[in-house]
Every structure is written in C-alpha cells, then in structure tokens.
Amino acid sequence: MRRTLPFLLCVAVLVIAVPLNAARQPLRARHGMVVAMEAIAADVGVSVLETGGNAVDAAVAVGFAMAVTHPFAGNLGGGGYMLIRMADGRITFIDFRERAPEKASRNMYLDAKGELTRDSIEGWRSSGVPGTVRGFEIAVNKYGRKTWSENLSPAVELASKGFRVSYALAEGLKGSKSLAASPESKRIFQKNGAFYDVGEKLTQPELAGTLERISKNGANEFYEGETAARFAAEMAKHGGLISRSDLKSYKAIERVPLTGMYHGYTIITSPPSSSGGIALLEMLGILDGTGYEKAGAGSASAIHYVAEAMRRAYADRNEYVGDPGFVKVPIAGLLDPAYLSRLRASIDRERATPSDTVHPGKPAGTERLETTHYSVVDAEGNAVAVTYTLNGGYGNGITVPGLGFLLNNEMDDFASKPGTPNMFGLVQGETNAIQPGKRPLSSMTPTIILKDGKLFMTAGAPGGSRISTAVLQVILNVVDFGMNVQDAIDFPRFHHQWQPDTLSLERGVSPDTVALLKSRGYEVDYAPGVVLAQVAAIVSDGGWLQGGSDGRSAAGKASGY
C-alpha cells in the first residue's frame, strides 16, 4: 500500500518558511522511495518501482512527468545532471547540461557601451541547446530495466488526458510575468484568457504529441527528427541561435563522479561542469578538524565556521571551475588536504573575514528555486539523484509553438561580463566566459553518501547559487548533529557565497544568534522572505528508507511503498 506524506498548503514557487518548531516526521518505507518537488511526479516514480522498474527507470519517468506537471522547472527544453549509484557498486554521472549554440559569441549580451542587456534572460536568444532528453536516453539504455516507451508513458498520459491543477501550480502560473509575455505560453497555461483555478484540469495536447513522438522514435526525435526540424525553424523565425546542426551534434556525457571522505562517510557528488560537487567537498574538507560541531547546531559559532568555509569555497569556485572541455579545472589541487588545511587556518575563530580580503587560493596545478531535484532509491539499493532546470522559473517563458515545451534561459549562467553578477548574484570569472559548444557553470549538487560501503543517503536541491550550501547543511545536520532526514531538511539554513559579502539567514535562526553574528562582523540579510533552497533527501537506515521533502514548498512530496 503506497503511503504519502501530507504537507502544509503553500505555493511551490512562491515559497514560505517552515514553522521550524513544529517537527515533522520523515516518511518511512521498506521497498522504494521517491522524493520530488511535485507530488504527481513522485507518485509516478513509485508506480514505476512497484511495476518492476529500477531507480533509474523511476528517475527518468519522474523527469518526463515533471515536464508536464511542474513546468516551473521540469523540462524537455532544459538540462541538468543525473548521479547514479547501482547496488553492485557502479557509479556514474550523466552530464546533460545545456550547451552554447554554434552562433554564440563572447560579447553577445553586451550593448555598444559594453553594458549587459537582458537578452541572456529574455527572448529566444537566451536559450542553450537542451540536453534533458539525450541524458535520459543514456540512463535508460545503460542502467534501466524498463523500455524507453514504458518510462515515457505516464508523462504522455498526463499531458494528453490532463491532471488537476494544484494550489501551488495555480499560484505559480498567476505569478509568472514571463509566461504572460509569450502568446503560446499564455494560450496553454491560461484558459480563455483566465487563470486556472485549483482543481481544474490542465491538458497539454501539443506537449503530448511531442512526448509521443519521442516515445516512439527515441531521443533522436528531439535532436534529428520532426521535433528538431520544427524547433529549429521556430528558432530561426524568432531570431534565436539554436540550429538543426546544434541539435544534431548535442551529446550527453558520462563523467566520473567526484568522491571524498568526511567523518567516516564516503561522499559521491558532481564533477565539473557543475561547481557544486567541488564546492561541497571543499567546504567539508575545510570544516573537517575544526570541531565546529561541538558548539551545537544553529549556534553562532557553528554558523560562523560553516559560513567561512562557504566564503572560501565560493571564491575558488568563481575563479577556477568551468566546462572541463574548455578549461583545466585543478580538482586535485582544490581538494588537496594541505591546501584545505591552509584555508582552514585562515579562519579567525571569532571574527568574520571580509570578502574583499579573501581571494581565490592557489591550489596545486592551477542556481534560487528555479531548478528542481528529486531522489530515488529502489528495493535493491540502486540510488539516483537528479537535478535539472530551465534556469529561471519557467525558463524564458517561451513555449515552442506546436511542440508544447518551454525553453531555458541558461545562457545567463555564463559570465557574459566577467566580474558582473548574473541573475543569482554570482560574480564569475574568465573560466565561464561564453564559447560556442561550451556548457555553462552550474551550482547543481546531486549527491549520494555511503556508510561502510553501503548506501546511506541521497540528496540534492534546487536553489541556484544556494544549492551546494543547502546540501552541505543537510549533510552536516544528519552526520554531525544526528538529526533524522526530515529534521535535517527543516532546520533553518544560512548561506554565504563570497560576493556579495552578505550572510543570508532564514527566519528560523534565533534573533539572539543573529545579534551574535553581527557582533562578529557579518553583514546579515535576515529579511522575512529569505528562503534558502529546497532539499529532497532519502536516508537508508536499519532496513528502512526515510524520505524527507522540504516544507519550504508544499508542492513536494515523499512517496514510498
């Protein structure tokens, strides 16, 4: 019998803080678990597990379903990463991040005065070449058990027959200016010019047709078939950059995940072109040996040490990390124990270090809530962590006419003008400058953790530049502070990303702690609206799977059997 975890009524994309003094219990299940940022898709994943699919099958089915039910971030027209750990010990990382089109150029988003335009965020020129469909194909073909068409079937049915609009989706659609600016998006996501109400049925016949063709013809349909031809024609018609050649040449890449150790646990996480895994391992490496945890979770001292680790890791992230096909990323140097020891020693035990005095180190060998994450574990112990995105909420808001899918505005993740903040406030360097065929840097951090060689935890989050710090804190809460997975997720979070030199704190942090942090020299953002990412995690413990979904958004769900 499937069990589901109820959530407080709130909006998926207009998130609220959790009442953190009201403890919630994780969902517990014996056989399989899916935690996703959208409830219908989570149940789709469990159904796949119940009918003989493995965790990879379920992950792909969830991803396609979310393209229908969670248009805020679920997608065909975006990209992301999938981290897989099979029960037999095999691990792999599928990089299906978007690429810059062949016609892209370094200064394409600068005006005559050298100032940034909004073209990297708005309009057809903001889109990179999508990777989701090709990435999911690799996953199913190499690691799945069900057929490609079986894994697409739930999404096809949801798009063609429709589904009931949730409160979260209804409010999200009402709040999107980008959707309202696109005639095709407005036609699909409004009903005769009016917004959908809760409980009304939303059907997407054009998207159903695209999914049906992909189901029948494979991923080549999206990259070389009728869908590709129509997609490229619409791009050309509207002044976009993506061509048929871009689509045909796109490849998802299998990479070797990064691994590290922390307090006896093996951390498996994302390699470049994601910066998230390097940042996560660097932060853990800096903290290891500080004894920060002795001060207790949520204390000013513990927050201080973790924030200083964040500050140093983000300085390095912005200087050194980029697409490994274009830049040499000094991974070994950044994670070298001697280098991490130097960074650790540079932390003042009592005072915040001003960011203008923290510069990227010299290692040897030298994304907000618009993303979505889901975690899957099956009865055999296979585990999958997927983070994928359109970048901005609903991407650039443009639905491709006749095809039904939304486009990403991922080109803004490049450093269009190195040294100038992007839409997430990240200041990035030359390693992430625009080049044709290059993958933009990402903060996505899908992570799997082992204890004594066995699966212990899988986690990840949406949240733009705040993803890796959110994943870090959930890991610390479980490993160092002994919290269950739900408490670890619901505990108030904080974030520092070097530039701007601001420590963001959720309102669940006590005012006394905030005052102590200010006395240490921190510039604090403690505004009521601060929400620092949404985490989806599963812990395997004592024969039970424990699923935790983030109460910062009630659209999410832990579902298991």
Confidence band for 422, pLDDT divided at 50, 70 and 90 = low
501 pLDDT above the threshold of 60? yes
Sheet holding 265-269, edge to edge: 27-29, 544-549, 536-541, 454-460, 447-451, 265-269, 258-262
Neighbour tally for 41: CB within 10 Å: 30
Q: What is the pLDDT of residue 458?
A: 98
Q: Is 394's pLDDT higher than 50?
A: yes
- Residue 46 scores a pLDDT above 70: yes
In-domain check, residue 343: yes
The CATH number of residue 526's host domain is 3.60.20.40
Mean pLDDT of the chain: 93
Q: Taking residues 113-129, what's their average pLDDT?
A: 96
- Tens digits of per-residue pLDDT, 456-470? 999 999 988 899 999
pTM of the model: 0.93
Domain assignment present for residue 140? The answer is no
Q: What does the pLDDT read at residue 7? A: 30
pLDDT of residue 364: 65
269 occurs within a structural domain = yes
Say how many CA atoms lie within 13 Å of 377 toward its Cβ. Answer: 32
pLDDT at 17 over 60: no
* Number of compact structural domains in the chain: 1
pLDDT tens digits, one per residue of 312-362: 999 999 889 999 999 999 999 999 999 999 999 999 999 999 998 887 877
Q: pLDDT value at position 294? A: 98
| Residue 13 domain flag | no
> For residue 292, how far is the Cα from the chain centroid?
27
Report yes or no on 264 lying in a domain. Answer: yes
Determine, yes or no, domain membership for 304.
Answer: yes
99 pLDDT higher than 50: yes
Does 46 fall in a domain?
A: no
Residue 242 β-bridge partners: none
Q: Is 548 inside any structural domain?
A: yes
| Cα 108 from chain centre | 26
210 is catalytic: no
Supply the pLDDT for residue 8.
29
Active-site residue, from 210, 371, 389, 431: 371
pLDDT tens profile 475-485: 999 999 999 99
pLDDT of 417 reads: 81
For residue 236, give Cα distances in angstroms to 125, 130, 376: 10, 16, 39
Domain coverage including residue 500? 259-368+445-560
pLDDT at 54: 99
The residue ranking higher by pLDDT, 427 or 76, is 76
Q: What is the mean pLDDT of residues 387-401?
A: 96
CB contact at 8 A, 40 and 158: yes
